[in-house]
A and B are shown apart, each in its own frame.
Chain A
Amino acid sequence: MKMFTKEEVIEKIKLFNEHMEEEKKLQQELLDIRMYGSKDATVSASKRTTEIYKEIEHIRMNKMLPIIDELAAFVAHCQKLEKEGKLKKIS
């Protein structure tokens, strides 16, 4: 298990943040979509809605979740090392 430095952890959190902002923009766009008007406009709006849902799912599953997994594994590993006395807790 790779040991991350403080800076590396912060970088990963920043990246997670960026993905969150990306998701938020898509959610806001979803709220602005209007499902009325001409048939073409409605079809287009419906298509875009489906696309957005897929993009949000992609961001969550393929971008945000891996970071959470990675950091969670890192924290668990640190806790294990601390229990074994191989890691000093910084107060």
Chain B
Amino acid sequence: MNAEEAVHNPEKEFTTLLVFPPQWTPQNPHFAISSIAGHLRKHGYKVLLRDLNVEYYEHVLSPEFLRTTLDKIKVDYTFLSTQVMLKTLMQDQSFEFQLEAMRFMAIDEYFKNIGSLAEKLPSIILDAKETLRDARRFYNPHLLVDAFYTIDKALELISLPYHPSKLSFNGFEHPMSMLVTHSLIENATSPKGNMFYEFMEVAADQLLEEKPDLIGVSINSFSQVLPGLTLAGHLKRKAPAGCVVNIGGNFFSRVKEALMSRPEFFETFCHTLAMGEGEKRTIMFVDELKGGRDLSRVPNILYYDEKDKTVKFSYEDMPEKMENLSFQDFTGLPMELYFTPEIVGCLQSSKGCYWGKCTFCDTDFGIHKDIKPLDRMLEEMRHMKEKFGIRHFEFIDESIHPAYMKQMAQRLIDEKLDVFWFCNGRLEESFNKDMLELLHKSGLSMVLWGYESGNRRINELINKGVDLDRRYDILKNSSDTGIWNFAYIFFGFPTETRDEAMETIDSIIEHKDKIHSYGRSVFTLGRHSLLYLDAQKYGIFDIVEDSEELSTNLHYSSKGGLTDKEIDEMMKICTDKCAEAYEHSLWFYLRYRENIHLYLVKHGKDFVQDFKVEQAFQKHLQTW
């Protein structure tokens, strides 16, 4: 069924249905669909929203589901134990048997580690979920740590039948699926090894009962690919004539060229695939589907032309200016289901980084720099507070300009908005003591600083543009003001040595009185970064594209520098040394920045900094 065929019934109100599939951390609604919904509704278009991510977690973290899973695993275990014996006798060396053997060992290990807790999981899971949602319990550290542990074990249990696939609270791994079209088709259209298949089949029927004319499936990260495509596959197969299935989000935007040579992707999953920001485009899309249905007139979409069996790209267009964007609208989302006592909403005051010179970064590529007028920004915060009761905000800007931040802080104080927020930041001189005090007074709880490395040579190569000695003064002033300092660090910058990586770890520990928490990651080479464009200068050579056609990863060699194995080792050393140095500080166990923020607002910086998790709960430390 070609999206350009069939005519919309003018007597029926055109309905757009936006869906957010798993997997994403289910603590807060993602801004993608609420942002587009707000814009469309403001312009008089009917939009329905479904967050299948939070619904999925709610579904699997239920007593009935866990009880059934437990019983099925016991049957599976008995079956597998005989299988392993029989197939060994048969000298079976097939890949399938190897998977069965791995699953058998995983089940065996799980029950050995968890002991009698396994049988209790169905009866305690409701309590664990309630702890995350009830403020009276969420803000009790030991109750929260225990609840996370219960949920971790429950998710491990439900993952076992699909081992080596693994679902956790903040991730989903499916090693059997590659970012190659035929692999995605194979895995997304079969229940075998796909923990989302049956859920999505039922969900697709429910979505289609709403009789939508346009369904948008929002896929923004790798963890959403398999579940999102599983849903899209069901929808494409079952959607009636005239209903268009569109994949949106920013994951597949990066692989436009590869998708253009893969018509089978569209035959299986969608009629169209949208790239870039969706507010302006979706309005044009709806108008076109109501009218002439000429998809070439809708900007920034790939669409499949059934007549000549090719994938076409319409045309590029600028996104809507931030000052013209409507406010987010969460109406229709099950706000009570999110695993948090208070929603932390996402806001964006600017697009593109005002510095834009860090050599490793290419997040600005393809971005049209823009700033939301301050009046509009404050109006949006007021709207979200008054209409949806949201008082906590995370700014997702790469970096907010200090001048803008200062003005916003002053306005928040003057207008008594009484909200709390956190954001990313660069450790630059503008953040003096007065500025930091103003920010904190306005409700700023935490800044996620681009600290990156503790080594001077590496920092100079990164070109952060900050005074490497003064940054500790900024951190101290920030801490003294009551602001929590979170440091982004990473390992594996090309040519970084082991000693240089250790300097990063040692500097964090040395300054732990003012670097209150950190988040570590592994360097990846961005294809539009300065490092890539001038690779040889930075000691990078032999750059090779990933063999998976829908992957954007680049592989390379560098002169000296850490190997992959050494990077993994540094990550582990970092966790172990810092856990000891920070003496099992509470923030390790809060896990997510939103939770740290909520705790900071509730209890204050000193409480979060000084609270040490008791030894009995330290086994719940999740390596991250």
Chain A residues with CB below 8 A from B83, complex form: 17, 20
A10 touches B90 (CB 8 A): yes
Chain B residues near A10 (CB, 8 Å)? 90
Find chain A residues with CB under 8 A from B86 CB.
13, 16-17
Known pairs A20-B79, A24-B76, A24-B79; A31 contacts B68 (CB<8 A)? yes
Instruction: Scan B71-93; emit 1 where CB is below 8 A from any A CB, else 0.
Output: 11001100100110011011000
Q: Is A32 an interface residue (CB 8 A)?
A: yes
Q: A31-B71, A32-B68 are known contacts. Are A14 and B76 too (CB-CB below 8 A)? A: no
Mask of B55-77 contacts with A, CB within 8 angstroms, 1/0: 00000000000001001100110
How far apart are the CA atoms of A14 and B90 in the complex, in Å? 8
A50 to B75, CA, bound (A): 19
Q: Does A27 contact B (CB under 8 A)?
A: yes
Contact call A28/B75, Cβ cutoff below 8 A:
yes
Bound together, the chains give a CA A13 to CA B89 distance in angstroms of 9
Task: Looking at the assembled complex, report how far the CB atom of A45 sits from the nearest CB atom of chain B, in whole angstroms.
Answer: 14
B87 contacts A31, C-beta separation under 8 Å: no
Which B residues touch A24, using CB under 8 A?
75-76, 79
CB distance from A56 to the nearest CB of B (A): 11
Residues of B within 8 A of A16 (CB): 86
Which A residues between 1 and 43 are near B, CB-CB below 8 angstroms? Answer: 10, 13-14, 16-17, 20-21, 24, 27-28, 31-32
- Which residue on chain A has the smallest CB distance to residue B91? A10
Bound CA span A21–B76, Å:
10
User: How near does chain B come to A89, taking the closest CB pair, in angstroms?
Assistant: 17
- Of B76, B79, B89, chain A has the most CB atoms within 10 Å of the CB of B79
- Sorting the interface of chain A by its residue count into under 10, 10 to 19, 20 to 34 or 35 or more gives 10 to 19
* Across-interface contacts of A28 in B (CB, < 8 A): 72, 75
List, in ascending order, chain A residues with CB within 8 A of B68's CB: 31-32
Chain A nearest CB from B569 CB (Å) reads 42
- What's the dominant secondary structure at chain B's contact region? helix
Which residues of the other chain, B, contact A32 by a CB distance below 8 angstroms? 68
**Chain A residues positioned under 8 Å from B79 (CB to CB):** 20-21, 24
- Contact partner of A13 (CB less than 8 A), chosen from B71, B72, B76, B90, is B90
**Size class of the B contact interface (CB-based, 8 Å):** 10 to 19
Query: Which A residues are in CB contact (< 8 Å) with B71?
Result: 31
Cα–Cα distance between A32 and B82 once the two chains are bound (Å): 23
Q: Complex formed: what's the CA distance from A10 to B75 in Å? A: 24
Cα distance A14–B97 when bound, in Å? 13
In angstroms, Cα B86 to Cα A21, docked, is 13
Q: In the complex, how many angstroms separate the beta carbon of B70 from the nearest chain A beta carbon?
A: 10
User: Do B82 and A20 touch across chains, with their CB atoms under 8 A apart?
Assistant: yes
Which of A17, A21, A31 interacts with B72 by CB under 8 Å? A31
Q: What residues of chain B lie closer than 8 Å to A17, measured between beta carbons?
A: 83, 86-87
In the assembled complex, the Cα of A14 lies from the Cα of B75 at a distance in Å of 20
Q: How far, in whole Å, are A15 and B348 apart by their CA atoms in the complex? A: 62
In Å, the complex CA distance between A16 and B87 comes to 11
The CA-CA distance from A78 to B68 in the complex, in Å, is 45
Could you tell me the distance between the alpha carbons of A13 and B72 in the complex, rounded to whole angstroms?
A: 24
How far, in Å, is B515 (CB) from chain A's closest CB?
50
Most chain A CB within 10 A, of B71, B75, B76, B83, is at B75
How many Å lie between the Cα of A18 and that of B122 in the bound state?
A: 32
Residues in chain B near residue A13, CB distance under 8 A: 86, 89-90
The distance from the CB of B192 to the nearest CB of chain A, in whole angstroms, is 13
Name the residue on B nearest A16 (C-beta): B86
Cβ distance B436 to chain A, nearest Cβ, rounded Å = 58
Cα–Cα, bound, A43→B366 (Å) = 61
Q: What is the minimal beta-carbon distance from B297 to any residue of chain A, in angstroms?
A: 48
A75 vs B584: C-alpha distance when bound (angstroms): 60
A57 CB, min distance to chain B CBs, angstroms: 16
Which of A16, A21, A24: most chain B CB closer than 10 A? A24
CB distance from B552 to the nearest CB of A (A): 39
Inter-chain CA distance A20–B89, complex, in Å, is 16
**Closest chain B CB from A19 CB (angstroms):** 11
- B75 near A31 with CB under 8 A, answer yes
Bound-state Cα–Cα, A17 to B83, Å: 7
User: Which chain B positions have C-beta within 8 A of A27?
Assistant: 75
**Considering the chains assembled together, what is the distance between the CA atoms of A21 and B83 in angstroms?**
9
Chain B min CB distance to A18 (Å) = 11
Min CB–CB distance A78 → chain B (angstroms): 15
Q: Which residues of A contact B90 (CB under 8 A)?
A: 10, 13-14
Chain B residues in 8 Å Cβ range of A21:
79
Q: A81 to chain B: closest CB distance in Å?
A: 21
Residues of A contacting B87 with CB < 8 Å? 17
In the complex, what's the smallest C-beta–C-beta distance from B172 to chain A, in angstroms? 23
Q: Which residue of A lies closest to B198 (CB)?
A: A32
| Closest A-B pairs by Cβ, 3 of them | A24-B79, A27-B75, A31-B71
Binding site for A on B (CB under 8 A): 68, 71-72, 75-76, 79, 82-83, 86-87, 89-90
24 residue pairs A–B, Cβ–Cβ below 8 Å: A10-B90, A13-B86, A13-B89, A13-B90, A14-B90, A16-B86, A17-B83, A17-B86, A17-B87, A20-B79, A20-B82, A20-B83, A21-B79, A24-B75, A24-B76, A24-B79, A27-B75, A28-B72, A28-B75, A31-B68, A31-B71, A31-B72, A31-B75, A32-B68
Given contacts A14-B90, A28-B75, A31-B72, 6 further A-B contacts (CB under 8 A): A13-B89, A16-B86, A17-B83, A21-B79, A31-B71, A31-B75
